[in-house]
Structure 1
Amino acid sequence: MFRWIFSCFLAISLLLTSCSNSSSVSASASPSSSATASAKPSPNSTKAPEAKPSDNPLEAALAKFVQLKGSATVELKLKSGVVKIELDGNNAPVTAGNFADLVKKGFYNGLTFHRVVKEPTPFVVQGGDPLGNGTGNFVDPATSQTRYIPLEILSDGAKQATYGEILPPTQKPKLRHNKGAIAMARSQFPNSASCQFYFALDDIYFLDGSYAVFGYVTEGMELIEKIQVGDRIESITITKGAENIKQPA
């Protein structure tokens, strides 16, 4: 599964070059096999050897991504005021880590909110696209490659997140799409999230298990509700927890 996830990234990068809505919130996604790992003891060993990071396929796979090991607080400055957001790296380390890293790089400063859906009922405010039209992604200047992250959803009561697939309806995620949730936008491919994010303007639980929530607005939700298409992100800064950002091994 882990080998599939990273090979899938290469295919995704090619497919998305011709996709006109590469990071729009969509209710459809392509299912894939579950991300599971098992450790087999040596037949000549009388006791289990101590586990090393390289011995765990999942840990080895996740080590290739920026992670947030804990929580972090960010402040989103809009023309109308400041919004505070708590990022949950305990339950979504890769997703929160990717966002926190982009915030730290100053990537979002000056970008616009290109999609706002409030009718017929409050839905989402979406931004973070460098192209401003819903088709842009983050290209790492160090590698000249687009950075994609796997769909990461922790089921309520589970100890390990599921990677690369949407959850079945019988499983509820620990981080739900409550009003004020911040989550990653993506295309129909589960592992196509890059930099675009959205805020839930209401409880939109039908997206649970299909999109990765990684935090919640703690102050200033009324400012999020006033955002219009074209409004700019004056700045996003990390005010607490920057030390919890861990770069790839």
Structure 2
Amino acid sequence: MNAQTYLKETNPVVTINVKDHGSIELQLFNEVAPNTVANFIEIAEKGLYKGSIFHRIIPGFMIQGGAVNQAVLPIKGDFIANGVNNPLLHTRGVISMARTNVKDSATSQFFIMHKDSPHLDGLYAAFGVVTNGIDVVDAIAKARRDAYDKPYEDIVIESVTVDLKGSLIPKTIRL
């Protein structure tokens, strides 16, 4: 399903403040990926994203960040190929959890879709969407980068703030 289907004033809102770029505001969709949302919020509220960078940028695809300097145990991936009914599509502005080829390997890293990428649908845990600041995503996607898609200049996450909007978020279930 399209992210617009899940937009509600009661969804948790996170704001990613990116040094020299601005802010990206997202609504998180607890109803489609509850453990992924709980995980992201837990990491954000602990301040672990502060100082991390967007370390992988592929224009026309996505921007990836959130590698933190503390060990984070993995979670079960909230996506269809892993037995979880998550119909959220990987369209422009959707946030999803990064992982290895192991389905239950997501920890702290996330990516935000720069463009629609249907080949990811059902294979990764999409869990929210950009509601303000897609221009910041576009600016980050234009950063000069090396052959490994790492920006030449660090694109630093200064902070990630959370407004639960009254939502009750369960404790993260880790593996």
> What TM-score does the superposition give when structure 2 sets the normalisation length?
0.79
Q: 2:130 matched to 1:217?
A: yes
Residue 89 of structure 1: aligned partner: 30
- Size of the alignment, in residue pairs? 152
Q: 2:162 matched to 1:162?
A: no
Pairs within 5 Å for 1:1-249: 71-78=11-18, 79-118=20-59, 122-130=60-68, 138-139=70-71, 146-153=72-79, 162-163=83-84, 173-227=86-140, 228=143, 229=151, 230-241=154-165, 244-247=168-171
Report which structure shows greater RCO (CA 8 Å, sep ≥6): 2
CA deviation map 1:21-42 (0-9, x unaligned) = xxxxxxxxxxxxxxxxxxxxxx
SS in 2 for 1:77: strand
Larger CA deviation: 205-214 vs 71-80: 71-80
Q: Distance in 2 between matches of 1:74 and 1:154?
A: 25
Q: Mark the structure with the bigger radius of gyration.
A: 1
- Mapped contact 2:33–2:78 kept (Cα < 8 A): yes
Unaligned runs of at least 5 residues, structure 2:
1-9, 144-150
> What TM-score does the superposition give when structure 1 sets the normalisation length?
0.57
Amino acid at match of 2:63: V
Amino acid at match of 1:125: I
Identity of aligned residues (%): 32
Structural RMSD (CA) = 2.2
- Mapped contact 1:112–1:129 kept (Cα < 8 A): yes
SS in 2 for 1:71: coil
Q: Distance in 2 between matches of 1:248 and 1:199?
A: 21
Q: Distance in 1 between matches of 2:107 and 2:98?
A: 8
Amino acid at match of 1:94: N
CA deviation map 1:43-65 (0-9, x unaligned) = xxxxxxxxxxxxxxxxxxxxxxx
**Displacement of 1:154:** 5.4
* Structure 1 residues 225 and 73: CA distance shift in structure 2, 3 A: same
Q: Distance in 2 between matches of 1:212 and 1:72?
A: 17
**Displacement of 1:244:** 2.0
Residue 66 of structure 1: aligned partner: none
**Displacement of 1:147:** 1.0
Unaligned runs of at least 5 residues, structure 1:
1-69, 132-137, 140-145, 156-160, 168-172
CA deviation map 1:84-135 (0-9, x unaligned) = 10000011100111001111111101111100011xxx0110000125xxxx
**Displacement of 1:80:** 1.9
